[in-house]
């Protein structure tokens, strides 16, 4: 498998998957007709020359104000969540370093924690490179984000087999087999989920009169022993408000579809047409069943990179100008849609509907702020006119917005089944 030179670890490989019956997505019936929309934020936008657009703010990319402003625009569009890109490599978009690319970025988890108090509704899902990050650190960072945001946190787990990233930490060679990295990511997710449950919901007593702050019987060692990690626990952070913040992953081929079905709540895929969308969905759902997650819904969203304009010609001309500035035509790992809000809405409805099983899309703005504003101010109203998107935020937590139940704490559940109070 060949790594995509821009940002992803895998080439899209799509093959028939025989023997799997169609599986209806297990989501809340009240939300079955509601389209979910996420926005992927990455600096000045997904086009490498976006920072040179007239409306761009390249001098503010490393400021808190910039990120708060962009997430507020996304929230104006009533979208479910934003993801925030992150990587260990400085040169994320190119095989060779280039001085005409905007490089340097802030830590995604810390951006999300800064933004959370400033925006009251939208879900916040920073990216974590699991290959080079300890799950204990991730668990407490995302649990903290969930507390700070009052239940709107998630995490996008990413793996890395880039040779230029491994030397930055000096603990690996960068030549790990992809299958091993995926198994490690699955264990990573299991550890962070276990740590989130290591405090029962009522473990904190906070009784100043008796001097008891915590019930030690409701703090638990997770005692995880696996091929890649040995983690005792418990966490230092009480259980998150959602119980389990949303876990997401980006997937381009069957092996990673299986990771989504095995471990995640939400998968982002990059289908070029409805048949590829159905294949991705079926493979995710087959893995969900294989790993005994029949009662745990798994959403699948299609990724689209978008360049919007008041007319199709205007959108094409704007992307062409960015291509000229970059010195080459922009091609992403996800399909690109260049056109009006109606054009993008047509593509969304084609890919995310009951016939494919996909329940939403994640939109990558080609240029920020232009395409981000167009998503909020033009595309969302178009989807609302078609009756497929919300007109207000109703749910308080990200899990509830996605129709996901708040999971029972695994240790409290065991105590209950054992008849112990």
83 is in an annotated binding site: no
CA dist 195 and 293 (Å) reads 19
The pLDDT tens digits for 370-404 are 999 999 999 999 999 999 999 999 999 999 999 99
One digit per residue, pLDDT tens: the chain, 421 residues? 333 333 333 322 222 222 223 333 333 333 335 899 999 999 999 999 999 999 999 999 999 999 999 999 999 999 999 999 999 887 665 556 788 888 889 999 999 999 999 999 999 999 999 999 999 999 999 999 999 999 999 999 999 988 888 888 888 887 889 999 999 999 999 999 999 999 999 999 998 999 999 999 999 999 999 999 999 999 999 999 999 999 999 999 999 999 999 999 999 999 999 999 999 999 999 999 999 999 999 999 999 999 999 999 999 999 999 999 999 999 999 999 999 999 999 999 999 999 999 999 999 999 999 999 999 999 999 999 999 999 999 999 999 999 999 999 999 877 766 666 5
CA dist 149 and 118 (Å) reads 9
pLDDT number for residue 419: 66
Q: Nearest CA to 239 among 195, 176, 303, 300? A: 195
Beta strand pairing call for 212-214 and 266-269: unpaired
CB atoms within 10 A of CB 67: 24
pLDDT number for residue 343: 98
CA dist 372 and 368 (Å) reads 6
- 407-to-29, 244, 245, 247 alpha-carbon distances in Å: 18, 7, 10, 13
Question: Collapsing DSSP states into helix, strand and coil, what is residue 400?
Answer: helix
Cis peptide before 234 (omega within 30 of 0): yes
Contacts of residue 24, Cβ cutoff 8 Å, sequence gap at least 6? 357
φ, ψ of residue 416 to 5 degrees: the values are: -65, -45
> What domains does the chain contain, in order, with CATH numbers?
29-417 (3.20.20.30)
CA dist 186 and 276 (Å) reads 24
CA dist 81 and 116 (Å) reads 12
CB atoms within 10 A of CB 313: 11
CA dist 325 and 348 (Å) reads 29
Count Cα atoms within 13 angstroms, Cβ side, for 45.
28
Helix ranges (H only) for 205-251 are none
Count Cα atoms within 13 angstroms, Cβ side, for 230.
0
Q: Nearest CA to 295 among 27, 113, 79, 60? A: 27
127 is in an annotated binding site: yes
Please give the structure tokens belonging to residue 288: 């969900």
Do residues 229 and 247 make contact, with C-beta atoms less than 8 angstroms apart? no
Per DSSP, 241 falls in state T
CA dist 136 and 139 (Å) reads 5
How much is the pTM? 0.89
Helix then strand then coil, in percent of the chain rounded to 5, is 35, 15, 45
pLDDT number for residue 98: 83
Q: Quick one: angle between helices 135-149 and 178-196, nearest 10?
A: 50
φ, ψ of residue 269 to 5 degrees: the values are: -125, 170
Place of tokens 């007709």: 33
């Amino acid at each position: 498998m060949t790594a995509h030179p821009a940002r992803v670890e895998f080439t899209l490989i799509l093959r028939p998957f025989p023997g799997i019956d169609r599986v209806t997505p297990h989501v809340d019936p009240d939300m079955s007709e509601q389209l979910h929309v996420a926005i992927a934020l990455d600096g000045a936008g997904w086009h490498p020359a976006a920072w040179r657009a007239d409306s761009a703010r390249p001098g503010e990319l490393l400021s808190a104000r910039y990120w708060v402003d962009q997430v507020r625009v996304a929230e104006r569009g009533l979208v479910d969540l934003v993801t925030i890109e992150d990587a260990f490599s400085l040169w994320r978009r190119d095989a060779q370093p280039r001085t005409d690319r905007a490089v340097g970025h802030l830590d995604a988890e810390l951006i999300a924690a800064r933004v959370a108090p400033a925006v009251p509704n939208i879900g916040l899902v920073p990216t974590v490179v699991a290959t080079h990050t300890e799950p204990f650190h991730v668990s407490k960072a995302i649990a903290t984000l969930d507390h700070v945001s009052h239940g709107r946190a998630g995490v996008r787990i990413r793996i890395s087999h880039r040779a230029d990233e491994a030397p930055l930490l000096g603990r690996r060679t960068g030549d790990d087999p992809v299958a091993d990295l995926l198994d490690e990511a699955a264990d990573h997710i299991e550890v962070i989920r276990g740590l989130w449950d290591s405090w029962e919901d009522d473990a904190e007593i906070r009784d100043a009169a008796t001097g008891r702050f915590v019930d030690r019987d409701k703090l638990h060692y997770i005692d995880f022993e696996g091929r890649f990690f040995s983690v005792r626990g418990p966490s230092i952070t009480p259980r998150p408000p959602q119980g389990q913040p949303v876990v997401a992953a980006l997937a381009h081929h069957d092996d990673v579809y299986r990771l989504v079905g095995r471990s995640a709540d939400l998968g982002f895929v990059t289908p070029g047409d409805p048949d590829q969308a159905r294949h991705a969905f079926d493979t995710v759902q087959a893995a969900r069943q294989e790993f005994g997650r029949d009662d745990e819904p798994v959403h699948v969203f299609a990724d689209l990179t978008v360049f919007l304009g008041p007319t199709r010609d205007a959108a094409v001309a704007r992307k062409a100008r960015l291509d000229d500035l970059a010195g080459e035509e922009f091609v992403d790992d996800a399909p690109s849609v260049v056109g009006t809000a109606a054009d993008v809405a047509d593509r969304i409805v084609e890919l995310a509907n009951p016939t494919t099983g996909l329940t939403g899309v994640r939109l990558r703005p080609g240029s920020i702020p232009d395409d981000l504003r167009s998503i909020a101010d033009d595309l969302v109203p178009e989807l609302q006119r078609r009756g497929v998107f919300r007109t207000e935020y109703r749910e308080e937590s990200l899990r509830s917005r996605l129709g996901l139940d708040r999971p029972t704490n695994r240790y409290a559940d065991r105590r209950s089944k054992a008849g112990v109070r």
